[in-house]
Chain A
């Protein structure tokens, strides 16, 4: 199995820039403007609106690139690849069964592009993650590509890794018939 992890590291300058903006900007705005100022209201509205927008678009496969992009610093993601030695058509059907029996919720399964979108439940640690699974043929092998991305948080508290491990365990145990 090949792991490609894209989660923020503390030595990444982009993380500190994002954190600075997220922490310093509200403080500056709060100090500079009066509590009744429309600027504060607009800023709050923008942040809440952006969060709600993310909540809505998370259920569309179309926005996969947005959530899984390396340039999206507001989401933490973990990517893996695994070869199962089973045709992608069969593995696609199998994975739908596995997700239906697991704690994840199946949102969309596109049989044409062999893409699956599932989400995990909201917990104290996260707003729930998006799980994007796709399949591709590479030579004689079919590869399952997995990506777990947070909804609106730059640190996943290990939830992405847990999702990955839980799904792999579920697939493994489902291979006992």
Chain B
């Protein structure tokens, strides 16, 4: 997929663990791990909103489009 999720980068910048984010956002660690690997089919705006809120970042910081 040409959309890459930079969740691991943002987590490292905020020095936050995936489990902590999972507790704040209310999404299971399994789902966040799959999201981190860019293997999800879609992401809800509500989830994106919660993650951005928790990590104090913009959607553009999390999602990146890689050209062909």
Q: Mark contacts of A45-73 with chain B using CB atoms, 8 A cut-off: 1 yes-contact digit, 0 otherwise.
A: 00000000000000000000000000000
- Roughly how many angstroms separate A93 CA and B29 CA in the complex, as a whole number? 10
Would A86 and B37 count as touching, CB distance under 8 A? yes
Contact between chains at A177 and B35 (CB < 8 Å): yes
The answer for the CA separation of A175 and B42 in the assembled complex, in Å, is 7
Min distance, Cβ B65 to any Cβ of chain A, angstroms: 19
Interface residues of A in 72-110 (CB under 8 A from B): 84-86, 90, 93-94, 97
Number of A-B contacts (CB under 8 A): 38
The reply to whether B28 and A86 contact each other, CB–CB distance below 8 Å, is: no
A contact residues around B58 at 8 Å (CB): none
For B41, the closest partner residue in chain A by CB is A175
Checking A84, A85, A93, A172 against B30 with a beta-carbon cut-off of 8 angstroms, the contacting residue is A93
Number of contact residues on A: which range applies?
10 to 19
Q: Cβ of A97: which chain B residues have Cβ within 8 Å of it?
A: 28, 30-31
Cβ-defined contact, A176 with B34, below 8 A: no
Those of A100-135 within 8 Å (CB) of chain B: none
Residues of B within 8 A of A174 (CB): 31
Q: Is B15 an interface residue when CB atoms closer than 8 A count as contact?
A: no
Q: B34: which A residues are within 8 A, CB to CB?
A: 86, 90, 94, 175, 177
> Which residues, 27 to 52 on B, are CB-close (under 8 Å) to A?
27-28, 30-35, 37, 39-44, 47
Given contacts A86-B34, A90-B34, contact A176 B28 (CB under 8 A): no
Are A176 and B41 neighbours in the complex by a CB distance under 8 Å? yes
Inter-subunit contact A90/B33 (CB<8 Å): yes
Separation of A174 and B40 alpha carbons in the complex (Å) = 9
Sample (23) of A-B pairs whose CB atoms are under 8 Å apart: A84-B39, A85-B39, A90-B30, A90-B33, A94-B30, A97-B30, A97-B31, A172-B41, A175-B34, A175-B39, A175-B40, A175-B41, A175-B42, A176-B40, A176-B42, A176-B44, A177-B27, A177-B31, A177-B32, A177-B35, A177-B42, A177-B43, A177-B44
Chain A positions near chain B (C-beta within 8 angstroms): 84-86, 90, 93-94, 97, 172, 174-177
Closest 5 CB pairs of A and B: A175-B41, A176-B42, A93-B30, A177-B31, A86-B39
